[in-house]
Amino acid sequence: MAGSDNGALGTTFKVARILQSLSLIAIIGMAAYFISQMVSQNNAPSDVLVGTLSVTCIAVLYCAITYILYIDNTLPFLITTGMDGMLLIALIVVAVVVGKPLSYLNCNVIGSSSVSQSTYQLGLELKKSFSKEGSKVQYSNWIGASKVTCYEMKAIWGLSIALCVLFAFSAVCSVCLWRRSKTVAPKSVEA
């Protein structure tokens, strides 16, 4: 693979980009599946999932472009640091919005007899929502619809948190690579 030899720092940057891309693609797949389910029931998808999908699609495109630019030695490291910081902020918002209701939800008890009454009420709410064509699905109701949905949303939440760490890490790597590119090698003195 072509590209500059930036040692361990450059390799770390590339590995971080690959991990970011894999996590983002997983989130895109799960969020798109949920949106597809909602739309197939003739309901408007949840704003939380649409926002998550939007941020992650932009981020995966950004990761691919910066990876290619890095390999071609044309990546502006300082701009990349700023962009990583902006995506970090966007992903923090995604993690907080997705995780706020999830943090109170225990996926193991969904469908168990101890919560049968609340599950029944949730089922009624979802039926009402699905019976109204064009109605908007409430995110807080959707995440508790089944164990599988709950676990998949927790996976999205966990990957969002991991992406926050990865984008903070790649921003630090990028600023270090920028600093390294600005240092001038000392001139050799010939005798």
Angle 147-182/7-40 helices, nearest 10 degrees?
150
Closest Cα partner for 31 from 49, 55, 56? Answer: 49
- Both tokens of 168, joined, read 């903070």
pLDDT at 188: 66
- DSSP, collapsed to helix, strand or coil, labels residue 134 as coil
Q: Taking the CB of residue 161, how many other CB atoms lie within 10 A of it?
A: 17
Torsion angle, CA of 27/28/30/35, rounded to 10 degrees? 140
Rg (CA), the chain: 22
Give the pLDDT confidence score for residue 126 in this predicted structure: 56
DSSP 8-state code for residue 44: B
List the pLDDT tens digit at each of the 191 positions of the chain: 555 678 889 999 999 999 999 999 999 999 999 899 888 888 888 899 999 999 999 999 999 999 999 999 999 999 999 999 999 999 999 999 999 888 888 888 876 644 445 445 555 555 555 555 567 777 777 787 788 888 999 999 999 999 999 999 999 999 999 998 887 566 666 65
pLDDT for residue 106: 84
Helix 7-40 vs helix 47-71: crossing angle, to nearest 10: 150
Which residue, among 61, 52, 80, 60, has the nearest Cα to 155 in the 3D structure? Answer: 52
Other C-beta atoms closer than 10 Å to the C-beta of 175 total 17
The Cα 84–Cα 100 span in angstroms is: 24
Task: Decide if 111 contacts 147 (C-beta within 8 A).
Answer: yes
Please choose, from the candidates 167, 177, 21, 173, the residue with its C-alpha nearest in 3D space to the C-alpha of residue 84: 167
Q: Mark out the alpha helices in the chain (DSSP H runs).
A: 7-40, 47-71, 77-102, 116-131, 139-142, 147-182
